[in-house]
Amino acid sequence: MLSNKTPSTVRSIINAIQRYKVLNTLTHDCFETALETEQQLLSQKKNNSALNGRPILIKDNFCLRDTLTTCASKMLANFRAPYTSTIVQRLIDHGCIIVGKTNMDEFAMGIASWGSFGPVANPWSLTKTMATNEENNQTVLHIAGGSSGGSAAAVAANFVSIALGSDTGGSIRNPAARCGCYGFKPSYGLLSRYGMITLVNSFDSPGFFARNINDLIYATNAVAGPDNEDATLIPKPFKPLKTSTELSKEKRKIIIGLPDDYDISTLSTEYRSCWHDLVHQLTETGEFEFRRVKLPHTPYSNAAYTILSACEIASNMARYDGIKYGHHTKNIDKNKDTYEDIITKTRDESLGERVRGRILAGNYYLLEENYEKYFVQSQRVRRGVVNDHKKVFEEDKIDCLLAPVVCDDPITLAEYQKSDHIFSEDDLFTVGANLAGLPALSFPVRLSSKGFPIGLQLIGPFMQDQALLSIAQRICSTYEFPFLDLSIQN
How many CB atoms are located within 10 Å of the residue 384 CB? Answer: 19
Residue nearer to other proteins on the CB measure, 110 or 119: 110
The interface mask with other proteins, positions 318-337, x = CB under 8 A, is: xxxx-xxx------------
Nearest distance in Å: CB 152, other proteins: 21
Question: Active site residue: 113, 147, 187, 424, which one?
Answer: 147
Q: How many residues bind other proteins (CB under 8 A)?
A: 47
**186 CB-near residues (< 8 Å, 6+ apart):** 205, 206, 207, 220, 224, 439, 465
Nearest distance in Å: CB 473, other proteins: 32
The yes or no reply on residue 380 touching other proteins (CB under 8 A) is no
Strand 440-447 to 182-185 pairing: antiparallel
Q: Looking at 62, 124, 182, 275, which residue binds other proteins (CB under 8 A)? A: 62
The yes or no reply on residue 76 touching other proteins (CB under 8 A) is yes
The interface mask with other proteins, positions 337-376, x = CB under 8 A, is: --xx--x-------------------x--xxx--x---x-
Dmax over Cα atoms in the chain, in whole Å? 78
- Kindly write down the DSSP assignment for every residue of 401-464, as one continuous string: EEEES-SSPPPBHHHHHH---SS-TTHHHHHHHHHHT--EEEEEEEE-TTS-EEEEEEE--TT-
With residues binned 3-state (H G I as helix, E B as strand, rest as coil), the percentages for the chain, rounded to 5, are: 40, 15, 45
- Name residues contacting other proteins, limited to 148-207 (CB under 8 A): 193-198, 200-202
Question: Active site residue: 116, 166, 171, 309, which one?
Answer: 171
Residue nearer to other proteins on the CB measure, 113 or 346: 346
The yes or no reply on residue 435 touching other proteins (CB under 8 A) is no
* 3 state SS of 177: helix
* Cα radius of gyration rounded to whole Å, the chain: 22
Half-sphere exposure of residue 485: CA atoms within 13 angstroms, side-chain side: 9
- Name residues contacting other proteins, limited to 446-465 (CB under 8 A): none
**Residue (of 257, 243, 208) closest to 443 by Cα position:** 208
Instruction: Please state, in angstroms and as integers, the Cα–Cα distance from residue 480 to each residue in 124, 212, 221, 475, following that order.
Output: 17, 11, 26, 10
Q: Looking at 311, 398, 435, 458, which residue binds other proteins (CB under 8 A)? A: 311
Nearest distance in Å: CB 315, other proteins: 6
Q: Looking at 26, 41, 63, 406, which residue binds other proteins (CB under 8 A)? A: 63
Q: At what angle do helices 298-316 and 377-390 cross, to 10 degrees?
A: 130
59 is catalytic: yes
Nearest distance in Å: CB 459, other proteins: 22
Q: Looking at 36, 66, 78, 83, which residue binds other proteins (CB under 8 A)? A: 83
The yes or no reply on residue 138 touching other proteins (CB under 8 A) is no
* 3 state SS of 396: coil
CA distance 85 to 94: 14
**Residue (of 94, 73, 92) closest to 316 by Cα position:** 73
The interface mask with other proteins, positions 224-243, x = CB under 8 A, is: ----xxxxx--x--------
Residues interacting with other proteins, by CB under 8 A?
61-63, 69, 71, 76, 79, 81-83, 85, 193-198, 200-202, 228-232, 235, 311-312, 314-315, 317-321, 323-325, 339-340, 343, 363, 366-368, 371, 375
Catalytic residues: 59, 147, 171
